[in-house]
Structures are given as C-alpha cells and as structure tokens.
Amino acid sequence: MRRDADRGTSARGDADRAVSETVSFVLVFALVVASVGTVYAVGVAELEAARDAERVENAQRAFDVLADNLGDLTEGVPSRGTEVKLADATLRSVDDASMNVTVDPGGGAAPTHWEYALRPIVYDVEAGGQIRLSNGAVLRDSDRGTAAVVRGPPLVVDDDHVQLTLLKQEHIGPTSTGGSQTVRIRTAATRSRLFYDNESVVHDTVRVNVTSPYTDAWARQYESVGFACTEVSEPTPSTSGTVSCTRSDVDRVTVVWLRVSTTFE
C-alpha cells in the first residue's frame, strides 16, 4: 500500500511539473511575441523616419552643389551637371513662384522694374518634406510644414551697396521624374547682363516682392540682411502668397540678370 501511495504522489508531482513547464513555456512565448511586436511597431517606424531624414539630408547636400554650380554660371561657365539620387522621391520643375524687383532712385526719376518667373526645381520626399532651388537659394520644408532658407540667394548687401543677381529659370523637356534612380540636372546659362548700376547722392530704395508657398522663409532671409518685410498675401495649401521686402537709403544698386535653363537627364 505504501508503494502505491508513493507511486501516486510521484505521478502527481510529475503532472505538476509538466503543467508548470507548459505554463512557463506559454508565458515566455507570449513575452517573446509581445517584445517582437513592440520592436516592430516602434523600431521599424523609427528606422523609417531616420531613413527619410537621411534622404532629405542627402537631397539638401545635392542641392547645395546645384546652387554652387549656378554660382559658376554667373561667373561665365556655360553649363554644369549635378547628379541627384532620388531614393523613392520625385524631382520636378514647378511654376508656383515669381519675383519682381523695383529700384526707385528718388529725386523725381522714374523707377526701374523687373518681373519674372522663378520656376523652382523641387525634390519631394515620399514620406513628406521638400527641398527646392529658387533664384539660386536652397529652401527646405519639413513634413511639419515649417520651411527655411538654408542657403541664401546671390545677394550682396553692405552699408551702402545692394547687388541683386536675378536668375530666371526655364525648364526644358519633361517637368518631373521619380523612382530610385540617379538623375542628372543639367543647367546652362546665357552670359550674365548688367541691367542696372547706379551710384547717386540721392539714396535709392530697393523693393523685392517674392511670390512663393514659403513667404515666411523668404521674409526671414531678407530681414537677416537688413530689409524690412511685410506679408502682402498669405499662402494657402493650393496657392502661393506674396511677401514684400524693402531697403531704403542705399547709395548704390547693382542688378545683374541671368537666364538659366534646366533639364533632367
């Protein structure tokens, strides 16, 4: 009888251990599944965000090179090519920005006025955000809707002199391309022309009006070099706005004009 009792006790112990091991396995398995799910839900999103941010950084560096090449065109180089890696992005030429410049010499003389389309080159990131080249400046817009001029236009401002270089961009061929390939942006220019160069005892007033989806960014850029800016109209999701920036009491004003063509290859 004692041996039977011992066998019963042993069987119950083995059963308890089996149940305990099963419960432990289920708990560990559930913990592993929960951990993998958490890592996937949080980690993958973080990795994708980091990847998209790096793509925007790379695009900005490429557009800095593109702006440098435009600077070479103003110095007389006939053409330049800049390679841009798209990485699931879209590169396009848009018609949502323009600029007009007025120089008023004062003293009763008639003001001189120029108006032209900017035709920016835009790099759109699939997940949100944008880099654009407009009038030689590089602008960066995040997916949060904030934009900044990360590289200023070809503008020289000191105590008594303002020099404006006006870059009229014209695009040739297809206006957009997308995917993950490398695209070469070919830029070519006519010889730069001196449109205006006046030095007078009568102080000039220079007014620059920019129509763009990013009026705040342009206003901050011109205010940083001594212009006073006011917003004429606010941009909306479907239309551009206009900002007007003025600098008075300028002894000398120089305006250089350059026509630039862009092509996607």
Give the whole-angstrom CA distance, residue 215 versus residue 250.
Answer: 24
pLDDT at 141: 87
Give the whole-angstrom CA distance, residue 159 versus residue 40.
Answer: 57
pLDDT at 87: 82
- Write out pLDDT tens, residues 168-201: 999 999 999 998 899 999 999 988 899 899 876 6
Structure tokens at 33: 């599944």
Q: Which helix (H) or strand (E) holds 63?
A: helix 44-74
Strands 98-104 and 89-93, bridge-based pairing = unpaired
pLDDT at 108: 75
The confidence band for 2, taking pLDDT boundaries of 50, 70 and 90, is very low
- Write out pLDDT tens, residues 28-45: 767 777 666 665 555 556
Q: Where do the structural domains in the chain lie, given as residue ranges?
A: 49-264
Three-class secondary structure of residue 229 per DSSP: strand
Structure tokens at 78: 């006939």
